Amino acid sequence: MHEEELKKIGLTDGEARVYLALLNLNSSTVGPIAKKSKVAYSKIYEVLERLLEKGLVSYITKEKTKYFQALEPGRLNEYIEKKKIELEKNEKDLENLIPLLKSHLNKETAREAEIFVGENGLMTAHEILLEKAKEKSKLRFFYIFNPEYDERVYDFFYGRLNFNGKKTIPMLKQKKMKWLGIINGENIKKKFKKYPKLIVQRRANFPIPGNIDITDNSVLIAVWSDDPMGILIQSEETAKNFKDYFDSVWKIAK
């Protein structure tokens, strides 16, 4: 009960179970805590120590025996605030670290193609693709309609995909980009009509190569399945070849 919610804010499985057990037990020695939380006795002290460090548990000593108790749930807000402060510090440290790490990158041997697995991986690939795109440029794309994954893909682009904390559409407006799309289904075409100034599309009544996004210097090939994946190719020459092919298909699509 409520273990998953506690895990989402940063507690481990054992910490969540021990904290909930203590809320029910009030003040207790180690034995009942281990029994109620179902955490191994050999691990219970370690878990309690971590909760003490996080400021969620306290103890008193009676006759040389420690009695532990959970601090009132409102303290979770303080715990979250501490995590936010730590995260902000880590972000600042990372901002300073990234340029240093990039200076070690051997550009001559940098990988031209990378594979990204899962929706989170595919999201990262799209963010890289869009981040490297030039302002006022065009993003060309092929999209193959698949009723099994259509809603999932739509939610990915207009619900989940972010760019530096901003949704896809606001980001496109910020960079003054425009999408040109060749698709093979009416269903997705109707959805794209919500953004007429940003997305111009044509329908192909013939086979198209796959789900592909093309920018000035990058190509992303996405494979949508139960476990989606993407291949990101960062090469101006490859991107030019795909753009030339897209433009030739664009002329005959309707």
Where exactly are the structural domains of the chain? 3-70, 113-252
For the 113-252 domain, the top CATH level (class) is alpha beta
What pLDDT sits at residue 47?
A: 92
Choose the weakest-confidence range: 3-17, 48-62, 138-152, 210-224.
138-152
CB within 8 Å of 167: residues ≥ 6 apart:
158, 161
Averaged pLDDT of the chain: 81
More confident residue, 9 or 243: 243
What pLDDT sits at residue 215?
A: 92
At 225 the three-state DSSP class reads: coil
CB-based contact 3:13 (threshold 8 Å): yes
Taking the C-alpha atoms of residue 131 and residue 24, their distance in angstroms, rounded to an integer, is 50
* Largest separation between any pair of C-alpha atoms in the chain: 88
In this prediction, residues 49-68 reach a mean pLDDT of: 88
What pLDDT sits at residue 170?
A: 60
Model confidence pLDDT, tens digit, residues 227-250: 889 999 988 889 999 999 999 999
Q: What is the CATH number of domain 3-70?
A: 1.10.10.10
What pLDDT sits at residue 31?
A: 93
Model confidence pLDDT, tens digit, residues 32-46: 999 999 999 999 999
Q: DSSP state, 56?
A: S
Band (pLDDT 50/70/90 cuts) for residue 121 is confident
Model confidence pLDDT, tens digit, residues 68-107: 988 888 878 888 888 888 888 888 878 887 777 767 655 5
Predicted confidence (pLDDT) at residue 109 exceeds the cutoff of 50 = no
Model confidence pLDDT, tens digit, residues 180-229: 888 886 555 555 555 556 678 888 888 888 899 999 889 999 988 888 89
Taking the C-alpha atoms of residue 47 and residue 112, their distance in angstroms, rounded to an integer, is 45
Percentages helix, strand, coil for the chain (3-state, rounded to 5) are 50, 20, 30
Highest mean pLDDT: which of 1-5, 60-64, 91-95, 151-155? 60-64
